[in-house]
Structure 1
Amino acid sequence: MFDRLSSLVTALTLVAIAAIFAALADGDPLAIAMMAIAGFAAALTVYSALPHAHSDTRSAGVAPAEMRPLSFLRHPDFARWVDQEKDPLLGVADNIVAIANDAAIRLLGRHIVGADIRTAIRHPVAAEWLSRIDGDAALETINLVDYPRPGQRWTMRIAALSNGERIVFLSDRSAIDAADRMRSDFVANASHELRTPLAAILGYVETLQDMNGEDDGATRHRFLSIIEREARRMQQLVIDLLSISRVEADRFRRPTTEVDLAAIVRHTITQLQDSETARPRDIVVALGTEKLPMRGDEAQLGQLVHNIISNAMKYGHPGTPVTVELLREGARVRLSVSDEGDGIAPDHIPRLTERFYRVDEARSRSVGGTGLGLAIVKHISERHQGQLDIESEVGKGTRVSVTFPLAVDA
């Protein structure tokens, strides 16, 4: 600044001196020439004092604009990519949230843009890790347990960029944790269900061995009957476990064979009535004579019908009707099975299709239930694009319905 001012003063002084000489010379050509030379010298002096971009920026230690690293977060392609990401994603510059996609805003709130990242993600582990991370930190995964609500788990990853910028990735792992817990519960429940009848069988076998040939036919017969009942219960449990495994293996393969649902229901009812199942005469049929073609797996649909009717026979009151209906509803068909039992409280209904879930565990065991019947029904109906509905009223009974799409040309 001082050099520019002194150069300007020098130039003005030269011009003033030239003007004085010109005035004294009264238009003399030599004086005019001297004034022109003085003016040119003044202009050259002022130009030499003007700042130059390259020299100023270099003297100040600042790189030219074209040499500075570009901000990745400001690039339009980055903004487009962020908008397409389904998981929450944040762009951070100097610990300040510069950009956030819609998923991040839904999770954390719109106020996070412009906020410090350590306060935007309000979790003690995240805050502690973000406060000590440096620019060269590796892309590691941080677990945020009970975030943003108890029982949920999210993970956080950070990718470090140049210029002090970072990308923060958030992923919801709650569903994976729930699936892991479900698998663990399934193994534990299956082990328990198998262990219970096995313990009974072993106990009664040991008792029979200790009788040492005592001639007590009635007791022996009773013990053998219990052993047979528990063995059949174990057998049914294994069958149901294998059924769930097969249905889950096929859940992404839609059936292509055309079957008649009405014929499947009639055949299943006949099997139940001819078996030793209790209450076969309580089944009331309202099927009609119309064929109901649909794309399906005949064996699985037969199992679905069998499980629904068997449940109604087990939990309905003896001597009351178990009504089986088939009703065509436009392009779909509805299978309904109603009983007149004790009914089910509303808070239990959403969990009835969970594996091994029982409303009344003692009663379920007494009637031979494995706790897998409705879980199998749910999986089979989903594979056949069906809709399962359970309606119940305490003290009046329960109605289980499944609607299936009919074949296109039906």
Structure 2
Amino acid sequence: MTRYWLPFKNTPLSLGLPLLALLLLLQFTSLPQRIDFWLYDTLVTRYPTPVADNVAIIAIDEASLSELGRWPWPRSAHAGLVRQLDRAGTRTIVFDILFPEASEADSDLANAMAQHGRVVLPMHFSNADDPEPGTSRLPTWHLTQTAAALGHAHVELDADGLARGVDLVKARTGTLWPSLGRAAAEVNGTALPGAFGEAKPMFVRVPLAGRAGTLPVYSYADILRGRYPTDALRDKVVFVGATAAGFGDIMPTPFSSLATPMSGVEFHANSYSALSQNTLIRLLPGAITLLLAGALIALLSLVLPRLRPGHSMMLCLLLTLGLIALNMTLLLYVRLWLPITLALMIPLIACPLSSAQRLALTNHFLNRQMDELGQGPRTSLPAPERRHPPLILEHLKTLLQPEGWWLSRNGEVLDAHGLTAADQPPFPEAGRWIHLNNQSWIQLTRYDAIYSLGLSLPNDLSREVIQLYLRRLTLNPESGNPVDNAPREAISSRIDHVRRAINQMRSMHQFISRSFERMPDGIIVTDELGVIQFANGHIEEWFGEPMPSLSGMPLARLLEGHDPREIPPWHETVSETLTMNQSRTVDLRIRGMDFLIHFAPFALPDGDQNGIIANISNISELREQQRQHREAIDFISHDVRSPLVSQLALIEQMKRHPGEIDTPQLEQLGRLARRSYQLAEEFVQLARAEQLTETRFYECDFLAIVENARDSVSEQALEKGIHLVLQGSEELWLRGNAELLERAVINLLTNAVQYSPPGAFVTAQVFRAGHQACLTVTDEGSGIAEEELPYLFDRYRRQKSSELSGSRGAGLGLSFVHVVVEKHRGEIRVASRLGEGSAFTIKLPVANPLS
């Protein structure tokens, strides 16, 4: 047998090492960072931060450039803007305009700034391409001295070119510079929360309030000319900067990318708005991500090899969802950003990797099993030639019931009846049947032994058919099997083994799948000796035989043991199916149930083997329906026909003496007509109840149903002097058919009134018990004998006490009640004692059990 070797088994080490290698490899790619950016952008754009109510933007827009002229404007214009904002009551002014060169109007701007007292100016860090890289470019000395604070206007773009954050405090040339947003907050007197108030370098992400134009914007020219609403800018923190496209001070953001970029002044205004509301997002150290990924590797490496594949997938899915939930919670509620892509990829990679390892191990196992399967026997019915001759004789005796038989081994008699050694003919060839009149002989070879087997068959018309069947029966094994010794490559050998195994199993699998899958009947499959090789679960259940004992049992013996019969005997039916290759259908009765067994011969598609498929159908319900049909015919022919005959006779009498028609005759005719109508009505109502389905159900009040039934019976009770009492006032809603339920209650009340003496009480009590609506009808009648209670709800069954008392009925009323209650998935019970009365209780499920 070929041996297979795998470098690792499905162990923590075999899973942990590849995961660790993939983690290290991902560290050198940009994929995790790009996915982290996408997750961040998705969350901040889906849940934007609200705008602070004290922020506004003074925009140097296209309209202002058209009105005030080309840029740069004289600083006297900026001084005029500061004075206008001062008169408007603006609390803090933040310029996002650089003033690095001196100008004649610097003193005018400085005076306006000094008069306001809360003006923040920007400073700029030189780039690497500048002549003096690393230096800071401040506003002119005069403006620097007058400004309330300076703040850097730098916005760092991420690796994908989008602006998501800003250095809240930036260190340059030994000095800590706040951002414009932080400087504005300090000048405005805004309390800086927590870590944001610490004077140390800190990069934060700015959760934007939306795309460009979300914050309130006023045109520079409108403010300068005084064209703005009164109190619109009072106590506001205004950011002054360029928004016109020609300035180039724009940047893509998660909200818009390059489609509608955001100006720098609006980004800084968003920064201040988020800082004032404590919604800036801090970044957690990257070491936490690595630790989280390492912990997941350790966890999955230890747990996944021990779990089933379905549980492994569920665990990886839960970990993935948990990481995403953790990321969302930290960002939206704690305002911390944890890059989780590295950790997120661990369960996503671990699940298929673990499955691949399981698949490799499974393939290793299946290859070994395929080798064993290729060397094993074919998947087919057991060949008769492999059986021991004494067992073959036993099966032939059971199947064919011969008059005599003979079996010897190397001349030694093993079993004989009616045949002697003198009857044995010479055998020209082993394994071939020889037929002499009514005798059939064959010589079999098993190992070093030679067996002689003979049968004495009945000398009738079946003899030739049986001998023809024996000629087809192969009982001697063929010598040798061709062996293919051609060398093949390993993969070709594997494929060849699989092909042979599939070819061996395909025929039987197709046969089983097409014939036996989901069959409602019992199925028995025999071989060509009539021995059971397969039986489905119905056979085990109906015959009460355990499955191990069924396999290998002759079919004729099974049937004879459970339904013995003489004409025709079971062995004859089975043998004729095999010998004559014809189907048979026979009645069968097992343990009080009626069945129909159909014997059908078959032949396997990949050989000359044949056998019987016995299909056993349970027809007990059909027989019960036939019985009910006969009862219905008897009912119609007797109970319905009798009053009609009486009516016809009475009418004929009236016709003969038309002048002598009196009131008693008319009353008798009316009673007979009413009885005919009542019988027909009960029969029709029972038929309607039996055809009732839930498609005809609707919401109905059980108390109202009982009240209507009481009203229908009240006149009958009044005529007899019966006190009809209804107890219960609670509405009990259920799903059902109110018409049939009302008829069922009427039947119970009518019976109670009919069998109660005058002056008695009949009580109908409606109540709720748990999740059930209940009705108890109690009478004070003669009661029901205990021996009649089990048959009380059988159709066409009348009580002896009813017949003796003259109360005639069809025996369908209580049967109708029972059918209606069963159709509503309820139950009915009766308690009765002779001489004391009866109590019928109906329980039906309510419509809403939780109410």
TM-score class, shorter: 0.7 to 0.9
Contact kept, 8 Å, 1:255 with 1:384, in 2: the verdict is no
The corresponding residue for 2:585 is: 141
Is 1:95–2:537 an aligned residue pair?
no
Contact kept, 8 Å, 1:334 with 1:401, in 2: the verdict is yes
Structure 2: gaps spanning 5 or more residues: 1-476, 484-499
If asked which structure has higher relative contact order (CA below 8 Å, sep 6+), I would say: 1
Q: Paired residue for 1:229, among 653, 665, 671?
A: 671
- Written as runs of structure 1 = structure 2, the 5 A alignment for 1:10-29 is none
Q: Which amino acid aligns with 1:344?
A: I
Contact kept, 8 Å, 1:254 with 1:384, in 2: the verdict is no
Contact kept, 8 Å, 2:722 with 2:762, in 1: the verdict is no
Q: Paired residue for 2:594, among 137, 149, 152?
A: 152
Q: Which amino acid aligns with 1:247?
A: A
Structure 1 vs Structure 2 CA RMSD: 3.2
The corresponding residue for 2:654 is: 208
- Written as runs of structure 1 = structure 2, the 5 A alignment for 1:216-365 is 220-249=662-691, 251-275=692-716, 278-279=719-720, 281-287=722-728, 289-360=729-800, 363=803
Q: 1:273 to 1:88 in 2, by over 3 A?
A: same
Q: 1:363 to 1:319 in 2, by over 3 A?
A: farther
The corresponding residue for 2:27 is: none
Q: Which amino acid aligns with 1:252?
A: T
The corresponding residue for 1:172 is: 618
Contact kept, 8 Å, 1:96 with 1:114, in 2: the verdict is yes
* Cα offset, 1:70, TM superposition: 5.5
Q: Which amino acid aligns with 1:179?
A: Q
For 2:480 and 2:698, how far apart are their aligned partners in 1? 75
* Cα offset, 1:85, TM superposition: 4.8
Q: Paired residue for 1:186, among 632, 639, 644?
A: 632
Contact kept, 8 Å, 1:73 with 1:91, in 2: the verdict is no
Q: What is the SS of the residue equivalent to 2:644?
A: helix
Q: Which amino acid aligns with 1:387?
A: E
For 1:131 and 1:140, how far apart are their aligned partners in 2? 11
Q: 1:116 to 1:276 in 2, by over 3 A?
A: closer
The corresponding residue for 1:26 is: none
Q: 1:64 to 1:323 in 2, by over 3 A?
A: farther
For 2:685 and 2:805, how far apart are their aligned partners in 1? 20
For 1:281 and 1:300, how far apart are their aligned partners in 2? 25
The corresponding residue for 1:397 is: 837
Q: Which amino acid aligns with 1:90?
A: I
More moved, 362-371 vs 290-299: 362-371
* Cα offset, 1:140, TM superposition: 4.0
For 1:211 and 1:375, how far apart are their aligned partners in 2? 43
The corresponding residue for 2:233 is: none
Contact kept, 8 Å, 1:155 with 1:173, in 2: the verdict is no
The corresponding residue for 1:43 is: none
* Cα offset, 1:137, TM superposition: 2.3
Is 1:120–2:555 an aligned residue pair?
no
More moved, 203-212 vs 391-400: 203-212
Q: 1:106 to 1:263 in 2, by over 3 A?
A: closer
Report the structure number with the largest CA radius of gyration: 2
Contact kept, 8 Å, 1:278 with 1:313, in 2: the verdict is no
Contact kept, 8 Å, 2:798 with 2:810, in 1: the verdict is no
For 1:367 and 1:403, how far apart are their aligned partners in 2? 28
Q: 1:96 to 1:342 in 2, by over 3 A?
A: same
Contact kept, 8 Å, 2:521 with 2:617, in 1: the verdict is yes
The corresponding residue for 1:198 is: 644
* Cα offset, 1:326, TM superposition: 0.8
For 2:712 and 2:540, how far apart are their aligned partners in 1? 58
* Cα offset, 1:64, TM superposition: 5.0
* Cα offset, 1:339, TM superposition: 1.6
Q: 1:246 to 1:386 in 2, by over 3 A?
A: same
For 1:72 and 1:98, how far apart are their aligned partners in 2? 18
For 1:327 and 1:81, how far apart are their aligned partners in 2? 54
* Cα offset, 1:311, TM superposition: 0.8
Q: 1:107 to 1:235 in 2, by over 3 A?
A: closer
For 2:532 and 2:508, how far apart are their aligned partners in 1? 12
Q: What is the SS of the residue equivalent to 1:348?
A: helix
Q: What is the SS of the residue equivalent to 2:799?
A: coil
* Cα offset, 1:197, TM superposition: 0.8
The structure with more helix, counted as a fraction of residues:
1
Q: 1:260 to 1:107 in 2, by over 3 A?
A: closer
Q: What is the SS of the residue equivalent to 1:106?
A: helix
For 2:758 and 2:636, how far apart are their aligned partners in 1? 30
The corresponding residue for 2:812 is: 372
Q: Write the deviation string for residues 92-131 of structure 1: whole angstroms up to 9, x where unpaired.
A: 1122112223322233323332122111111434332112
* Cα offset, 1:314, TM superposition: 1.1
More moved, 112-121 vs 100-109: 100-109
For 1:386 and 1:286, how far apart are their aligned partners in 2? 21
Structure 1's consecutive aligned runs of 4 or more residues displaced over 4 angstroms after TM superposition are: 59-67, 69-77, 79-86, 275-278
* Cα offset, 1:88, TM superposition: 2.6
* Cα offset, 1:353, TM superposition: 2.2
Q: Write the deviation string for residues 158-184 of structure 1: whole angstroms up to 9, x where unpaired.
A: 342231233222122122111111112
Structure 1-normalised TM-score? 0.73
* Cα offset, 1:316, TM superposition: 2.6
- Give the paired residue count: 343
Contact kept, 8 Å, 1:136 with 1:160, in 2: the verdict is no
For 2:804 and 2:739, how far apart are their aligned partners in 1? 25
Q: Which amino acid aligns with 1:158?
A: A
Q: Write the deviation string for residues 330-363 of structure 1: whole angstroms up to 9, x where unpaired.
A: 1111111112222223332232222221012863
Q: Which amino acid aligns with 1:196?
A: S
For 1:268 and 1:345, how far apart are their aligned partners in 2? 27
Contact kept, 8 Å, 1:257 with 1:297, in 2: the verdict is yes
Q: 1:325 to 1:375 in 2, by over 3 A?
A: same
Structure 1: gaps spanning 5 or more residues: 1-58
Contact kept, 8 Å, 1:322 with 1:339, in 2: the verdict is yes
For 2:808 and 2:681, how far apart are their aligned partners in 1? 14
Q: What is the SS of the residue equivalent to 2:787?
A: coil
